[in-house]
Amino acid sequence: RKRFENKVAVITGAASGIGAATARLLAREGAHVVLADLNDNGGASIAADLGATAMAIKCDVSSAADIEALIKAAVDRHGRIDILFNNAGIGSFGTSVEIQPAEWERVIAVDLHSVYYACHFAIPHMPRGGAIVNTASISGMGGDYRFAAYNAAKGAVINYTRALAVDHARDGIRVNALCPGLVVTPITAGAQQLPGLKEEWESRIPLGRAAQPEEMASVVAFLASEDASYVTGTIMVADGGTTAH
Ligand code: NAD
């Protein structure tokens, strides 16, 4: 059974990691995917693999104008948006004293404002049965040392997800958040090179390893699918047990 036959899915941060794995999975299950990323070459090469109805659009999610253009392009092409996966994000290392104001503002813009912009412009084009998934993080559930801006942004995405779910339930739109633990993607690759850090992180994961991006894509697909028809406002943790102990 193809869960997403003829569904239109807009995915941000689709050129890499969790977004790319989700674009591939949704397309395999029948979706027309719109891949949005700053890295338009990466998005275009994935889109080329995913068949004629996939398209890639260059977009800086921290720009309201870019998101407005993204949503317009998707609607011009397909007439509606069934699934919105707000996934683009950047990390940021430092305490509140270490981090500079410009970086704080950038992290909040890319990780939080982007979600509002996409919802603001997309929801009017989402029919009943639509689904939004926002990528938060377990860093948004409890402070991770020296991730002040990231913790703040992801915590806000979690509660904003609940607000969206409540506001748009009567429109027939479900909204849920994914909270990954440690996933093997370029965002964590740098930190994983630091001596001992990978081992230290993995020692705190009951399953004993980081996740592969495909293990996040399968959760996103569930939340975006009819299988989750009664699931809205949920914060879905997929962290190998990290926050369970
Ligand atoms: P990734 O670096 O592989 O992918 C992120 C993608 O977002 C990249 O393709 C990048 O070009 C794009 N991007 C960054 N800034 C952008 C912008 N301003 N506009 C448009 N695109 C932009 O990382 P990932 O691990 O797949 O991250 C996806 C999401 O998962 C992020 O929101 C991240 O915070 C979250 N997350 C990741 C982990 C992890 O361990 N990897 C854990 C928890 C949450």
DSSP 35: E
pLDDT tens, position by position, 18-31: 999 999 999 999 99
**If 0-12 CB within 10 Å is exposed, 13-18 middle and 19+ buried, where does residue 49 land?**
exposed
pLDDT tens, position by position, 217-235: 999 999 999 999 999 999 9
The pLDDT of residue 191 is above 80: no
Question: How close is the Cα of 13 to the center of ligand 1, in Å?
Answer: 6
Portion of the chain with pLDDT greater than 90, in percent: 90
Write down the pLDDT at residue 182.
94
Q: Is 187 in the pocket of ligand 1 (CB under 6 A)?
A: yes
Three-state DSSP state, 172? coil
The terminus-to-terminus CA distance of the chain in angstroms comes to 37
Of ligand 1's atoms, which has the minimum distance to the CA of residue 138?
A: 43
Q: What is the mean pLDDT of the chain?
A: 96
* pLDDT grade for 153, boundaries at 50, 70 and 90: very high
C-alpha angle with apex 53: 50 to 55, nearest 5 degrees?
75
Q: Is 86 in the pocket of ligand 1 (CB under 6 A)?
A: no
CA distances from 137 to 143, 158, 170, 177 (A): 11, 8, 27, 9
* pLDDT grade for 213, boundaries at 50, 70 and 90: very high
DSSP 211: B
Q: Is 186 in the pocket of ligand 1 (CB under 6 A)?
A: yes
Question: How close is the Cα of 170 to the center of ligand 1, in Å?
Answer: 31
Of ligand 1's atoms, which has the minimum distance to the CA of residue 62?
A: 18
Active site residues: 150
pTM of the model: 0.98
Mutation probe of ligand 1 site: the residue of 59, 183, 205 with most atoms within 8 A of C-beta: 183
Q: Is 140 in the pocket of ligand 1 (CB under 6 A)?
A: no
Pairing of strands 174-180, 235-238: parallel
Q: Nearest CA to 11 among 110, 32, 182, 30?
A: 32
Q: What is the mean pLDDT of residues 124-153?
A: 96
The amino acid present at 74, given as its one-letter code, is: A
DSSP 127: P
Any long-range contacts for 151-158 (C-beta under 8 Å, 24+ apart)? Answer: 152/108, 153/89, 153/107, 153/108, 153/111, 153/112, 154/111, 154/179, 156/108, 156/112, 157/111, 157/112, 157/115, 158/235
Question: What is the residue extent of each domain of the chain?
Answer: 8-238
Write down the pLDDT at residue 210.
95
DSSP 133: E
| Topology, domain 8-238 | Rossmann fold (3.40.50)
pLDDT tens, position by position, 234-243: 999 999 999 9
